[in-house]
Amino acid sequence: MKLYYSPGACSLATHILLREAGLSFDLEKVDIRAKTTEHGEDWMALNPKGYVPALRLDDGDVITENVVLHGYIADQKPEAKLAPAHGTKARLKQDELAVYVSTEIHKSLGAMFNPAITDDARKATIDRLMARYKLIEQLLADGRTYITGEQFSTVDAYLFTVTNWATPLRVDLSSLPNLLAYQGRVAVRPAVQASLVAEGLVKAA
Ligand SMILES: N[C@@H](CCC(=O)N[C@@H](CS)C(=O)NCC(=O)O)C(=O)O
């Protein structure tokens, strides 16, 4: 398998999950603005959607969409317990949360990377985002270690990755202490640290 990624982008979640699952994979960096890969391939030819993450399977097929890739990785290594079994209530609830992170949190934060965003649009986006984070803050209020309980899951990799953008986007999360403590717990996981180092985002300890 090969993961096409951009450092610190949402593809970091898939990267973390590949490591958490202990799967073997290659990495190839994509310049999502120039639409080329580090090996000079035409990104739009490889993936006409133009965005990361994309996972090239061993049969050559290229698959996209965060939530789908996260579920696929979990299914490749059930013993890593990144997602409960299909058809269970626990899986239903985890999928519900994954789509919430994707459509309500990822997309709101992502919109703020647009340099053309107006101050009014940015304020409205932050207001909506804080309302969405409120649910996350409430879930974490019972002292659970990860977002679905004590087991690290696909949603943790995703939520951690997009919440990390708050700092470069200057979004103040200080009213969400449970979320901030959670970010710290996820950050120290060895697979997370290894992914951050591999993407050149932090130096190796
Ligand atoms: N629907 C896609 C969206 C992925 C996405 O937003 N990727 C961003 C990075 S976080 C990207 O590559 N943007 C560049 C572009 O859209 O051209 C998913 O959930 O996987």
Ligand 1 midpoint to CA 52 (Å):
5
Minimum-distance ligand 1 atom for the alpha carbon of 30: 12
Compute the distance from residue 106 Cα to the ligand 1 centre, in Å: 9
- pLDDT tens for residues 109-156? 999 999 999 999 999 999 999 999 999 999 999 999 999 999 999 999
Residue extents of the structural domains in the chain? 2-80+191-198, 89-189
User: Is 2-80+191-198's fold the same as 89-189's?
Assistant: no
The model's confidence at residue 205, banded by pLDDT at 50, 70 and 90, is confident
**Ligand 1 lining (C-beta closer than 6 Å):** 9-10, 32, 50-52, 64-66, 102, 110
DSSP 91-126: HHHHHHHHHHIIIIIIHHHHHTT-TT--HHHHHHHH
The overall average pLDDT reported for the chain is 98
Average pLDDT over residues 196-205: 94
Which CATH class, in words, describes the domain spanning 89-189? mainly alpha
What class, spelled out in words, does domain 2-80+191-198 have in CATH? alpha beta
Give 57-112 pLDDT, tens digit per residue.
999 999 999 999 999 999 999 999 999 999 999 999 999 999 999 999 999 999 99
- Tell me the pTM: 0.98
